[in-house]
Amino acid sequence: MQTPQISKAKRQQLNEHYMLRAIALAKKGEYTTSPNPAVGCVLVKDGEVIGEGWHQKAGEGHAEVNALKQAGDKAKDATAFVTLEPCSHFGRTPPCAKGLITAGVKHVVIGMQDPNPLVSGRGITMLENAGITTEVAVLESAAKGLNPGFIKLMSTDKPLVRCKMASSLDGKTAMANGESKWITGKEARQDVQRYRAKSCAIISGADTVIIDNAKLNVRYNELGFIANDLKETDVRQPVRVIIDSQNRLTPTLALFDQKSPIILVRTKLENGQQWPHFVKQIQVKERSGKADLTDLISKLAELGLNTLWVESGARLAGAFLAQALVDELVLYQAPKLMGENSQGLFDIEQLTHLQDAIQLSIEDVRMIGADIKITATVNK
């Protein structure tokens, strides 16, 4: 690919062709790698793919390592196509830039520069200092779309916050007596499971856990089509973050049947209850008698949780929106009318004038089964 006979246009075409393959490989890890980024790598030599790989799970081999393993000795003088700049530092695994150098790769095409301050440009410099040529920002927008939470945390020290709600067409989330199962259909609920699986943490409130006796875990049998590519043991359970300022939860709730990490959020720590080993309590500041959500988001960011999925009732969801903490709203609307006495969608206080209304930008509208799915970013 480095020969003069290949025109600039042809070279760009080939770069994009193999980068699209690397992006497709990266997507195979989007439900299992969190909080690490999903990354794909393709090794090409003499027009032939000789190795490919993707990052499958945090703490295991990175995409480049898996591709090099498949290529073996053929990797010498090959071109590597990687969706994210190869890392240059020792973490739980050795630096991938070093691995490419050792293998004798001669050219590396990179989708996007790593926003991680520990890497950001250093991997590229390491490659170039070893005599390896590089090209950066090939299909950059698509590469960035693989890991929005990782990019935001590394760039701003703040996680990506998505808020999910489900309602009838007249904006109701439950009947007056609290009945809400199920407003939306099977396909919408499967879509929610996929969002849960992609997230580092699910945030909810004590009301939701107590009223629904919710587990808030990823249910493998409801993942739909992606379950075809995953074993049940591959599915990573996100951290469940439950805001319980009044210490109302008890270990007998179904939430604690799933033995995966739980963080109980308090304004005052309590030591009377005996919690399972996978339960941790953290203390946040108090704001107007409730947990300070801004402080909570900061503490979760410090734990490296870069993609947060808020799945709660109208009051907590409204508080996240009112405090400008939501980046993306995911709303499922069922073709039902539930009447004015039913419970509303968002409980947002102190909005007295139309100019105070929270402004959204609609990014996508589609049908999910019989329901409408609206994805919107929150204008800040």
Q: Active-site positions? A: 64
User: Look-up: residue for tokens 């989708």?
Assistant: 111
Task: Please check whether residue 141 is in contact with residue 21, taking contact to mean a CB–CB distance below 8 angstroms.
Answer: no
d(CA 339, CA 168): 9
d(CA 229, CA 238): 19
Task: Please check whether residue 296 is in contact with residue 285, taking contact to mean a CB–CB distance below 8 angstroms.
Answer: no
Task: Please check whether residue 14 is in contact with residue 23, taking contact to mean a CB–CB distance below 8 angstroms.
Answer: no
Q: Residue 366 forms beta bridges with which residues? A: 373
* Overall residue count recorded for the chain in this entry: 380
Q: Pick left, alpha or beta for residue 178 (phi over 0 → left; psi -120 to 50 → alpha; otherwise beta).
A: left
Question: Which residues have a Cβ under 8 Å from the Cβ of 71 and sit 6 or more positions away?
Answer: 43, 50, 51, 78, 103
- Of the candidates 37, 159, 135, 153, the one whose C-alpha atom is nearest the C-alpha of residue 81 is 135
Pairing of strands 79-84, 201-205: unpaired
